[in-house]
Structure 1
C-alpha cells in the first residue's frame, strides 16, 4: 500500500500531537513502514535519516535486535501485573540498576509512564514531603525562563514556553520564574561559566527572600531542550545545589531529555558533581521502544511517607501500567547496551565530528550561534542584523521540508536546527546529516 493510501486513512481518523492539522493540506505527513538503525522507510520506499531520534527517545537504533528480543522473551512470560501489593523481577532489577548508576544518594525509584507524569510525581512528592514534615506553607515551585517540563497540567505549570503554556494559563499553578542561565544571551567575550554565575544571582535572591514558601526548584540540567536547545554551564547547577541546601528547598532535575548520555555523561548532573533530590527519567530509558518513566529520590524523602496506615501519610499516586514488565525489560536491555561497549567514549568522537562538519556555518550571516553539549548540537538561525526571524515566517519548516526531500528527518524548534541522533549513527551518516542541514539552512535563509 502506498503513502497516499495511509495518509487518507490517517487524516480521516487521527489527531496528531504538537501539530496544526490544517498544515497537512500542503505538508504531506510521512507514514513509516519500518525502521532500522538510524533509518526510517515509508510505504513508497523512501528513507529518512532520523536526526532527532524520533522525539529524542531512540538511543541504539530502530528495531534494535537485542532490545526487541528481550521484550519478546518477556512477553511470553509476563506482560503486566498490578504493582500495588505485587511485584516482578524486571521492575526490581531495573530499580536496582538505576540506583547504582545514578548520582550517589538517589536510592528509591517510583515508576510512571511518561516524562510529564514523572514531573507530576516529583512535584507532588516534594509538596507532600514538606506537608508530612509539618511545613504546609511550602507550596510554590521555581522554574527557569524558557523551560519546558511536559504537557500535563502540573508539568505545564512549571514550564515557561508560551506556545505550550499560555492557552491553559487559567488552569495552572503559577510558578516563580527566574531568568535562565541560557548562554545565548551572554555578552560578546563573556564565557559560559561567567554568564551562568552572573545569572545565578537572580535565583539566589529569590531563594533567600522566599524559601519559606518554596517546595522545590525544577531545572533541565545543561540544556533547555523544547525551549530551543538553549544551553548553560554546569557551574549554575553547582551553585543551585548549594543554595537549595542552604535554604531548605528541594532540587528537581528533569533529565528526561538529557539523561542517558545525551550531554556527554550518563546523566547531565554528573558534570556539576551534584545529586538532586528528585531526578526524572524517561525518553531514552527504554531505548525508544516503550513508554516508561522513573523518579529517583533520596531515602530520607521515602522515609517521610513511611508510617502506620492510620497516619495517612502514604503517597497515593498510581498509574495502571506502573512498572510494566515489558517496559522495564526494554529499559534493562537498553542498559545492557551501555555496558556492552564504551558508548560515552564513542559518543565523544561522534560529537566532535558533528561539530566539525557544520563548522562552515560559523561564518554564515544568518546563523547566530552553533552550540553543543555532547550528542546535542544546535544551530540558531536569525536575521543578518542579529535579530531573530519572526516566528510567523516559519523558517524551520523550510529546513524540515528540504531535509525530507534529501533523505533526512530534521524537525527544527522554531529557528533552531538541531541534531540529536541515535548513538549508532556512523561517520558517513553524520556527514550526510551535516550536509543536508547546511544546505537546508542556506535554502531557508535565502531571502
Structure 2
C-alpha cells in the first residue's frame, strides 16, 4: 500500500475538505528547493512550505547546528529554568528587531504568538486599572486559528462557525491615499470611547488576503495616532519577517515602530515549531509588579525549546550572510523582470511585489477553493511546481536558495498555466 493510501486511513489535513480532496501527495524527502514524492517525482517548493523554509529544505548549516545541540540539551521546561540557546537568541533578536523592542516571550506557532500579543495588550490596560476591551484590525487580515487570533482575523471562510464567540473587534480598511483621512476620523471616534486596547496589523502585506499590499505612509499615520492614544500597536510579522520584504522586518520600512511584534514561520527556518512575541520595555513594565496577579501567566510546554532556538540562531546567521543577501536581491530583480513581461498577458488583471513576495491576479473570477483554482493547483503539480493559488491570485515566495534555473521554471509554468485558461 502506498504512503498516499495509508494517509487516508487516519489523517485529517489542515484547510482541507476531504470529501472533495481525498488524496495528498506523499513527500518522502526534500533538499534545497526541491520536494520528492514517493514515486521519485520532484517539485520546486515555490512557497517555501508556507513561507518557513526560506533557506531551503534540510539546509546542512542549520541541521548541523541542531544536531550538535541535540547532544547537549534537547528540551527543558522554561518556567524557573533557562538555557544558553534561549539567551543567545534573545540577544540576537533584540539586535535585529526595531530599536524599541526589548523583551522576548516564547510560544509555539504564529497563532499563539498573536494570542500572546492580544493578551498582553488587554492585560496591559487591565494592570493599569483601565477597562479597555476593544481591538482594532484591518479588513481581510489573517492572524491565525486560535480564538483570539481568529477574532482579529477578517476572513470568514475560516471563521464562520465561531464568530459569535469572538472578542470585540472593529475593522478598518487598509490605508490608501484616498481613504487615510476617513480612516483617521474613524479611529478618533473609536478612541473617544476610551475602550480600545490595541490595534493589530500585518505590515505592508496581508498574506492570506492573497498578498494584498499597501503603502507604508498610511500605516505610519495610523500607528502614530494609535500610540498617541495609548492604544497598543501589534505588528504581525509571522509571514513578513526575516527578509521577505527586502528588509529584515516589514516594520523596518515604517517610521513608527510597533509596541509588540509577532514572529514565527521563517524564525526557525522551517526546522522546528516556535514563535516569539517581542515587546517594548513600556509594555513589560506594566506587568512588573509586587502583585502576582499582574504577572503574565501564559505558557507553552515547548516554550524556548533549545533545538528550535538553535535553528533560529542558525537561520539568522544565514540571513545576515552576504550569500543570502545577494540571493534576496537576485530574486527581487528576477521578479521585477518577470513582472514587466507577465503583466502584459491578456489573462492577468494586476500584479504586485514587495521584496521576494510576488503576486498576480487573474482577470477570471474564481472561488478561493473552487474548481478552477484546483485546476491551476493541479496543473502546477503536474509540471513539477508546488504553488497554492488563493482564489484568482497566484503568488510566489520561494526560498532564498532557489537557483536562477529553478526560478525561471516557476515563471515558465505560470505563464503556460495562463495560456491554458
Among 360, 371, 392, which residue is 1:379 paired with?
360
Alignment of 1:56 with 2:51, yes or no, is yes
Aligned match of 1:151? 145
Distance 1:393 1:10 in 2: 23
Among 273, 279, 288, which residue is 2:255 paired with?
273
Q: 1:285 Cα deviation (Å)?
A: 0.2
Aligned match of 1:421? 398
- Aligned residue for 2:162, secondary structure, equals helix
Deviation per residue, 1:348-391 (Å, 9 max, x gap): 221121231243332223311111001110011123xxxx3355
Aligned match of 1:257? 239
Aligned match of 2:112? 117
Aligned match of 2:6? 9
- Aligned residue for 1:175, secondary structure, equals strand
Distance 2:385 2:369 in 1: 24
- Aligned residue for 2:353, secondary structure, equals strand
Note if contact 2:74-2:306 (Cα within 8 Å) is conserved in structure 1: yes
Q: 1:345 Cα deviation (Å)?
A: 4.1
Note if contact 2:53-2:270 (Cα within 8 Å) is conserved in structure 1: yes
Aligned match of 2:19? 22
Aligned match of 1:317? 298
Aligned match of 2:71? 76
Note if contact 2:369-2:391 (Cα within 8 Å) is conserved in structure 1: no
- Aligned residue for 2:261, secondary structure, equals strand
Give the TM-score normalised by structure 1: 0.91
CA RMSD of aligned residues (A): 1.5
Aligned match of 2:274? 292
Among 154, 157, 167, which residue is 1:163 paired with?
157
Note if contact 2:220-2:255 (Cα within 8 Å) is conserved in structure 1: yes
Note if contact 2:236-2:262 (Cα within 8 Å) is conserved in structure 1: yes
Residues matched between the structures, number:
419
Note if contact 1:281-1:295 (Cα within 8 Å) is conserved in structure 2: yes
Note if contact 2:107-2:303 (Cα within 8 Å) is conserved in structure 1: yes
Alignment of 1:201 with 2:201, yes or no, is no
Deviation per residue, 1:329-351 (Å, 9 max, x gap): 11011011123325334312211
Alignment of 1:347 with 2:332, yes or no, is no
Give the TM-score normalised by structure 2: 0.96
Alignment of 1:326 with 2:303, yes or no, is no
Distance 1:392 1:61 in 2: 27
Runs of 4+ in 1 over 4 A off after TM superposition: 390-393
Q: 1:420 Cα deviation (Å)?
A: 0.4
Gaps of 5+ in 2: none
- Aligned residue for 2:168, secondary structure, equals coil
TM-aligned CA distance change 1:285 to 1:391, over 3 Å: closer
Note if contact 1:286-1:334 (Cα within 8 Å) is conserved in structure 2: yes
Q: 1:50 Cα deviation (Å)?
A: 0.1
Q: 1:295 Cα deviation (Å)?
A: 0.6
